[in-house]
Structure 1
Amino acid sequence: MSTPPIPGLAELRRRTSAKWTTYPDDVLPLFVAEMDFPLAPAVAEAMIAQVAASDVGYCGGPGRVGHTFSGFADRRWGWPVDPADVRLTTDVSVVIVETLRVAIEPGDPVIITPPVYPPFFELIPEAGGRVCEVPLLAGDDGWSLDLPGIERELQAGARAVLLCHPHNPLGLVHPSADLATLAELVAAHGAVVISDEIHAPLVHPHARFTPFLAVSETARNVGIAAHSASKGFNLAGAKCALMVAASERTRAMLDRQPEEVGFRTSILGRAAAEAAFESGDDWLDATLRTIVGNLDLLERRLPDLGGVTWRRPDASYLAWLDFRGTGLGDDPAAAVLDRGRVALHSGPAFGTQGVGFARLNVGCAPELLNVALDAISDVVNSA
């Protein structure tokens, strides 16, 4: 793909992460959920200091993460977290699998709400459960949880709800009233909610995020939250995630997990998380301003992408694009990659509700985004 100069692109292509090694150098990679921005200085310094001290052995406990996350949660969301309720493991996918293993019996149905993060379809069977789909409702005002549908599946025997909040790929921040109702439905059937809140640090300034465990006493009794600095601070490979329980019932569930679940946490990831939650606010706010600016750019450019529509997200750097009016078929990302040399995330991977859609990552320089949008425009308008 011949492109005008993009600041920093040559340096980015020297990275060895999946984002920059999955495709050839003629492809602009806007698919996987990694940002291109430099690390927060405090985070980089903490990791460098860990290495300089040759302190890269086994992670012997949660360190100060519980305390720094508690301060972050209070500042950002007004959520009081007891540091003692924070436990660590490698990543949010492990939080989900290992929590399901102690929360359900083999073969139990676990509810998900597609279109949703593709690994959800695999993590549930890995934990011994069975995927139970209750798709989100798409109305004139946006998406929402199908609470009656969730209730029906709970009545039919579902034992857990795997919630995505904020929701990937939609950037949907679930209203607290819906979460409170969900908690009551789950409690009435003796089930549990695992709330994947990995994108919570990336809620946009105009939106209000209420953590599931902050919704109500019932939510605290039935819920376990999964958090991480990995998305907000671009640390996906650092391997440190948080499990938060706030009731005797859910603490007891986590107590049943093998000791190895926590022992496998990366000590470098722990250092990064401590620093991010304690000293990363200014960097995060600046990053959010860039993300919002890129979404503004995308919104201005949409008329160029003949037939592509969207609903603007309230969180994260991911845009869920509807290509169904373009003639690019069920998997438009394939056509955009083949003919435009831009890698988007395939919509059908998020469930059958993703047919005709693709996910675009705007966590990049605006110059790069503009070039990618030019290429997508050429593909769509020549279809």
Structure 2
Amino acid sequence: MAVFSDAWIDRTSTDSVKWKVPKKIYRRDDLLPMWVADMDFLSPREITEALIKRAEHGIYGYAAPPGSLFSTIRLWLEKRFHWTVPEDSILLGPGVVSSLALAIRALTDAGDKILIQSPVYHPFYQVIKNNGRELAVNPLVYDGNAYTIDFDDLERKLKNGVKALLLCSPHNPVGRVWKRDELEAIGALCEKYGVYILSDEIHADIVYEPNRHLPIASLHPAWERQSITFMAPSKTFNIPGLQASFMVIADRDIRKKVKREQQKIAFHGPNLFANIAMEAAYQHGEKWLEELLSYLKENVRMSIEFLKTELAAIRPVVPEGTYLLWLDCRELQLPEEQLMKALIEKGKIPVGTGEKNYGEEGDGFLRMNIACPRPMLEEGLQRFKRAFS
């Protein structure tokens, strides 16, 4: 029996950020949200069962993560990415963004330059600026079909005093799954100029064949020693509300610095239910994930075909990974405010705006989350068409 069905599950009474926030902002009850990156699918049954079983005990005191959680994470990394890590290199965190901010504070000082590759996930900007660090930008190059890295510009920026690179791999929002030669070039430059690699790999599991995710730290011992890899089951298994993530830190000195920063904020680890969900996800969720990838791949195909035939002026960037469509709307020649006005007032469909959320290189683009049942996706695409008809 298939795990996924086309059932449209009502989330409006669950305090879902995805569904609640647009209603509050726009004061409308008729919106179909396709903006924030969580899915409208039920999480794996084994996660729900594990949480219910623990909840039925009735006592929810302080809890340490089980030792089996670390071996479970290690086995997942070995099986999915052929990456062998010692268990003591794994540190738990509440969420990837929080852990990124913590790592920046542990490894850099106020005023240090930190580099991003834009357009990129908007919290990257926030964790740099809010911690008093200086933003350096290596814009990705878009040729009308796909994005690549400008390595000449990257080297110029790295040798000009950059302390850390925030790598988004797979890349949100442009959907690139970086190839081995691209990651090797990044690693070699960061090694050459002594730059830390802070690699957000939260979408590592959402990759479409024949593409393959490669953790940059797994490619060379030197890059592993100067890297922190941030991962989580949250995007993979649709459990972001449980705040469960982990870091892989091979270097003992870097690990000490991060632990010291955790101690400064009195971080005691993910909560009881986060640990349970994370272990259940990685122990039992692989079959569910394979069916998810198959379902999402068809959603991608369907969305691209619809836009090609019904809205030729909007060009989707075909994603190699993630469940996010990055849409080139520049041919419409509408400023971002008018794009959003049409989407909300005519289409009644909130999506992610390019420049506001992903930097100036996102001007004229939109990000659309297509991780939802087919009837919801079909409705969303029709609303998208209505917005610009």
Letter in 1 for 2:346: R
- 5 Å-filtered alignment, 1:358-373, equals 358-373=366-381
Partners of 1:261 and 1:230 lie apart in 2 by: 23
- Of the three residues 321, 334, 356, the one matched with 1:315 is 321
User: Identical aligned pairs, as a percentage?
Assistant: 28
Match of 2:64 in 1: 60
- Of the three residues 316, 326, 335, the one matched with 1:329 is 335
Q: Mean Cα displacement is larger for which, 57-66 or 112-121?
A: 57-66
Cα-to-partner distance string for 1:324-358 (whole Å, 9 max, x where unaligned): 11243335234212211011111111000111111
Cα-to-partner distance string for 1:30-59 (whole Å, 9 max, x where unaligned): 000010001101111122122122353334
Partners of 1:67 and 1:184 lie apart in 2 by: 30
Match of 2:224 in 1: 220
Match of 2:282 in 1: 277
Instruction: Tell me how far 1:127 sits from its aligned partner.
Output: 3.0
- 5 Å-filtered alignment, 1:182-221, equals 182-221=186-225
Q: Mean Cα displacement is larger for which, 10-19 or 86-95?
A: 10-19
- Of the three residues 329, 334, 357, the one matched with 2:365 is 357
Letter in 2 for 1:125: K
| Residues 86 and 242, structure 1, Cα contact 8 Å, conserved in 2 | yes
Match of 1:341 in 2: 348
Q: Mean Cα displacement is larger for which, 290-299 or 18-27?
A: 18-27
Partners of 2:252 and 2:234 lie apart in 1 by: 28
Closer/same/farther in 2, CA of residues 76 and 64 from structure 1, 3 Å limit: same
Matched position secondary structure for 2:294: helix
- Of the three residues 74, 78, 81, the one matched with 1:74 is 78
Closer/same/farther in 2, CA of residues 180 and 36 from structure 1, 3 Å limit: same
Closer/same/farther in 2, CA of residues 70 and 220 from structure 1, 3 Å limit: same
Partners of 2:76 and 2:146 lie apart in 1 by: 29
Partners of 2:183 and 2:266 lie apart in 1 by: 28
Cα-to-partner distance string for 1:138-175 (whole Å, 9 max, x where unaligned): 23662122222222122111100001000001111111
Cα-to-partner distance string for 1:275-313 (whole Å, 9 max, x where unaligned): 111110011111111111100110110120130002210
- Of the three residues 265, 279, 295, the one matched with 2:300 is 295
Instruction: Tell me how far 1:219 sits from its aligned partner.
Output: 1.3
Instruction: Tell me how far 1:63 sits from its aligned partner.
Output: 4.0
Partners of 1:261 and 1:130 lie apart in 2 by: 26
Closer/same/farther in 2, CA of residues 210 and 261 from structure 1, 3 Å limit: farther
Match of 2:12 in 1: 13
Instruction: Tell me how far 1:75 sits from its aligned partner.
Output: 1.3
| Residues 146 and 318, structure 2, Cα contact 8 Å, conserved in 1 | no
Count, aligned residues: 376
Letter in 2 for 1:278: Q
| Residues 31 and 344, structure 1, Cα contact 8 Å, conserved in 2 | yes
Unaligned runs of 5+ in 2: none
Letter in 2 for 1:248: R
1:243 matches 2:247: yes
| Residues 145 and 317, structure 2, Cα contact 8 Å, conserved in 1 | no
Closer/same/farther in 2, CA of residues 9 and 61 from structure 1, 3 Å limit: closer
Closer/same/farther in 2, CA of residues 221 and 243 from structure 1, 3 Å limit: same
Match of 1:3 in 2: none
Letter in 2 for 1:132: A
RMSD: 1.9
Partners of 2:230 and 2:382 lie apart in 1 by: 37
Cα-to-partner distance string for 1:99-143 (whole Å, 9 max, x where unaligned): 111111111010001110011111112333121111112236621
Q: Mean Cα displacement is larger for which, 101-110 or 14-23?
A: 14-23
- 5 Å-filtered alignment, 1:97-108, equals 97-108=101-112
Partners of 1:32 and 1:307 lie apart in 2 by: 24
Match of 2:387 in 1: 379
Instruction: Tell me how far 1:216 sits from its aligned partner.
Output: 1.0
Partners of 1:343 and 1:140 lie apart in 2 by: 24
Unaligned runs of 5+ in 1: 1-5
Letter in 1 for 2:365: F
Partners of 1:379 and 1:94 lie apart in 2 by: 36
Letter in 2 for 1:65: L
Q: Mean Cα displacement is larger for which, 199-208 or 165-174?
A: 199-208
1:148 matches 2:155: no
- Of the three residues 38, 49, 54, the one matched with 1:50 is 54
Instruction: Tell me how far 1:186 sits from its aligned partner.
Output: 1.4
Letter in 1 for 2:292: T
Cα-to-partner distance string for 1:224-276 (whole Å, 9 max, x where unaligned): 00000000011111011101111234333324323356414222111111111
Match of 1:254 in 2: 258
TM (norm. structure 1) is 0.93
Partners of 1:317 and 1:68 lie apart in 2 by: 25
- Of the three residues 141, 157, 164, the one matched with 1:160 is 164
| Residues 334 and 346, structure 1, Cα contact 8 Å, conserved in 2 | no
Matched position secondary structure for 1:35: coil
Instruction: Tell me how far 1:7 sits from its aligned partner.
Output: 6.3
TM (norm. structure 2) is 0.92
Closer/same/farther in 2, CA of residues 141 and 345 from structure 1, 3 Å limit: closer
